[in-house]
Amino acid sequence: MISSKNIVLNGKIIDLSTPIVMAIVNVTPDSFYSGNRCLDEKVLLPTVEKALKEGASIIDVGAYSTRPGAEVVTETEELDRVRGALRSIRTHFGDVPISIDTFRASVAACAVQEFGVALINDVSGGELDEAMFKMVATLNVPYVLMHMKGNPQTMQNNIEYHDFLSDMLRYFAQKIECLRALGFNKEIIVDPGFGFAKTIEQNYELLRNLCIFETFNMPMLVGVSRKSMIYKLLNSSPEESLNATSAAHMLALKQGAHILRVHDVKPAMEVIALYKAYKGII
């Protein structure tokens, strides 16, 4: 295994000693943020091009909205959306590192085997498809392991914990052990799952204590971009929450985040630049 300060994507070592940005590309009509709905090539390709020019290291493609109360998308529809988007991105941007945002094993397999996707980003931690962990072990590409309870339709009804932070640590420890027992030997990236089965207060407790996940000695991904933990707190909207998102990104970096999953790449890169100056590494 390589150092937790790196991940290998499509054979290329990505150095995480300096934080990087993962750009969100949603090929779904019901993403919670209207500014990030890439429903056809006329929107998709300029979105990807802009993200790469602004400094994104990974393009994260998702075809099933996981916002609270999101509509159910059939496996066939998700596969159709994913194939269309990945085909276009590969045609126009070559071997750019791509992540597939899915909780379905079949979609992960399609993305990796047909389009050379480098990373599986599973919001359910293997809970919503019993075949996912075995598929991850078979595909053997890096995996984002996120914390969530329930599913997108029910998760906000699953906010009770015995001990919030201890329960999360136990969740990750058990999932990591399961993946390793299946023979998975690639990098696991821990994602605490902001906004998933958590109240606003729990989200900020989590943000204050992100450093506890360093116990796993694994990269940490944080996704707070324009989420309700920000705009509801400020009586605002996703469209009006960029400034506060940048503030939350800085807090996450100070607590040890390695990867910021964002809608807006340039502002996130600026936050990282300021963080590097603050740490004296410019």
Q: Which residues are catalytic?
A: 227, 261
User: What's the one-letter identity of residue 66?
Assistant: T
User: What are the residues whose beta carbons fall under 8 Å from the beta carbon of 35, sequence distance 6 or more?
Assistant: 238, 239, 263
Here the tokens at position 37 are 């709905």
Here the tokens at position 97 are 């590192």
22 beta partners: 58, 261
Whether the Cβ atoms of residue 27 and residue 38 lie closer than 8 Å to each other: yes
Torsion of CA 31, 33, 39, 40, to 10 degrees: -150
Per-residue DSSP letter, 132: H
Of the CA atoms within 13 Å of residue 167, those in its CB half-sphere come to: 13
DSSP letters, 51-71, are HHHHT-SEEEEESS--STTPP
- Residue 252, judged by CB atoms within 10 A of its CB (0-12, 13-18, 19+), counts as buried
Q: Locate tokens 């019993």: which residue?
A: 130
Of the CA atoms within 13 Å of residue 223, those in its CB half-sphere come to: 25
